[in-house]
Structure 1
C-alpha cells in the first residue's frame, strides 16, 4: 500500500497486518516514521516492510514492484492511500502544481493498479476464485466543492471514476476495485488544512456532521479492512462514504436552524410561514 508511515495509512497498515497480511507500504520522506511502523507491527506479531517511493516516477513504481514482488509472486491487495497537492485558489495554481497533483494522485493510482493487477492475475489459474482487491482512499472533496481544495478534490473525483472503469475491466479476473471516501477525519492533514487563517473554525464544521464528531483513522481503516475481506467479494466499482453523514446534509444545517432537539417529538415546531 502507498502512504503507510502516518495518519490513515499507518492505521491501515496496522489493521491489515493484524489480519495476517504481509504488508509492504511506501513512504516518501519520513524514513524514521516508516521504520517506527515496521517496528510496531513486528512487536504486535505482524509483518510489514517499508519501501521509499516517489509516486511521480514511473521508474520508481516499476522498481518497487520488481524489488518487492519479483516475477511469480502474487499480490492479493493494493491500497492506494498516499496523496499530496496544494491548497490554493484557482488564480494561484500553476501548471506545475496541476501536473504534480495529477501525477501523484491519479496517474500513480492507474499505474499501481495496472502493475498490481498483473501480479494478481499471475497465478489466477492456480487460485481462480481468489481474485484480488484494489482499494483507493479518497475524500469528500471529490463530490463536494469547497475553498482551496480544487486541485486535489478534482483528482480524487478522477480516481473514483477510474475505480469504476477498472472494476468493469478487471472483474472477469475476479479482481474487485473500490474506494473509501473519508469526510472530516481527525489527522494531522485535517488540522493543517483548518489551520489556515481564512478557513472556518473546525469546531463549527464538526457541529454540522450529523453524527456529531470527527471521523477517526480507525473508521477509515475498518472500511478498508471490510473491502479487502472475503465478505466484500461481490462489491466492486463503488465508493464507500465514511463521513458521519456530512455529505447527506445541506444548508440550512440542523445546527444552524433551531436549538431544540430534532429527535424530540415534544420539541416546539414553529410553522415556517408564521
Structure 2
C-alpha cells in the first residue's frame, strides 16, 4: 500500500496486518515513521516492511514491484492511499504544480493498478483513497480535488476492465478526517477553522483514521467480492446537507425549539405524536 507511514494509511496498514496480511507500505520522506509502523506491526505478531517510493517516478513504481513482488509472487490487495498537491488558488497554480499533482495522484494510481493486476492471477482487490473534494468545490483544493475525481473515474473504468479477472476496484472517499493533513489545510489563513466546520457535519464530529481504515478493510475483504466500481463515502453525512446548516439557524430552528413556522412567520407548538 502507498502512504502507510502516518494518518489514514498507517491505520489501514495496521488493520490489514492484524488480519494476517503481509503488508508492504511505502513512504516518500518519513522513513522513521514508516519504520515505527513496521516495528509496531511486528510487535503485535504481524508481518510488514517499508519501501521508499517516489510516486512521480514510473521507474520507482516498477522497482517497487520488482523488489517486493518478483519471481511470480502473488499480490492480493493494493491500497493507494498516498496523495500530495499544492493548495493554491487557480491563478497561482503553475504548470509544474499541475503536472506534479497529476503524476502523483492520478498517473501513479493507474500505473500501480496495471502492475498489481498482473500479479493477481486468482483475483484481488484494488482500493483507492479519495476525498470529498472530488465532488465538492471549495477554496485552494482545485488541483487535488480534480485529481481525486479523475481517480474515481479510473476506478469505474478499471472495475469494468478487470472484473472478468476477478479483481474488484473501488474507492473510499473521506470527509473531514482527523489527521495532520486536515489540520494543516484548515490552519491556513482565509480558510474557516474546524470549529466552524464540525457543527455542519450531521454526525457532529470529525472522522477518524479508523473510520476510513475500516471501510478499506471491508472493501479488501471476501465479503466485498461482488462490489466493484463504486466509491464508498465516509464523511459523517457532511456532503448530503446544504446551507442553511442547522448549526447556523437561530432560535426559530424547529429541530431544536419544538415549534413550527407558519407561512406568515408566526409559530405554533407541534402537538405530541398521535394527538390532533
Smaller-chain TM-score range? over 0.9
Cα distance, 1:201 vs. partner?
1.4
Look up the SS of the partner of 2:64 in the other structure: helix
Give the equivalent residue in structure 2 for 1:78: 78
- Structure 2: segments with no counterpart, 5+ residues: 266-276
Give the equivalent residue in structure 2 for 1:198: 190
Look up the SS of the partner of 1:48 in the other structure: strand
* Count of residue pairs brought into register by the alignment: 265
Q: CA separation of 1:147/1:272 partners in 2, compared to 1, >3 Å: closer, same or farther? A: farther
The RMSD of aligned alpha carbons is 1.2
The runs of at least 4 aligned residues of structure 1 exceeding 3 Å deviation read 258-264
Contact kept in structure 2, 1:260 and 1:267, CA below 8 Å? no
CA–CA distance in structure 1, aligned partners of residues 61 and 38 of structure 2: 21
Q: CA separation of 1:99/1:269 partners in 2, compared to 1, >3 Å: closer, same or farther? A: same
CA–CA distance in structure 1, aligned partners of residues 16 and 252 of structure 2: 43
CA–CA distance in structure 2, aligned partners of residues 262 and 99 of structure 1: 49
Q: CA separation of 1:260/1:10 partners in 2, compared to 1, >3 Å: closer, same or farther? A: farther
Cα distance, 1:258 vs. partner?
3.8
CA–CA distance in structure 1, aligned partners of residues 87 and 80 of structure 2: 21
Alignment of 1:1-274 (within 5 A): 1-121=1-121, 124=122, 131-259=123-251, 267-271=258-262, 273-274=264-265
CA–CA distance in structure 1, aligned partners of residues 241 and 143 of structure 2: 24
- Structure 1: segments with no counterpart, 5+ residues: 125-130
Q: CA separation of 1:273/1:200 partners in 2, compared to 1, >3 Å: closer, same or farther? A: farther
Contact kept in structure 2, 1:5 and 1:30, CA below 8 Å? yes
Cα distance, 1:257 vs. partner?
2.1
CA–CA distance in structure 2, aligned partners of residues 63 and 204 of structure 1: 44
Give the equivalent residue in structure 2 for 1:127: none
Q: CA separation of 1:144/1:272 partners in 2, compared to 1, >3 Å: closer, same or farther? A: farther
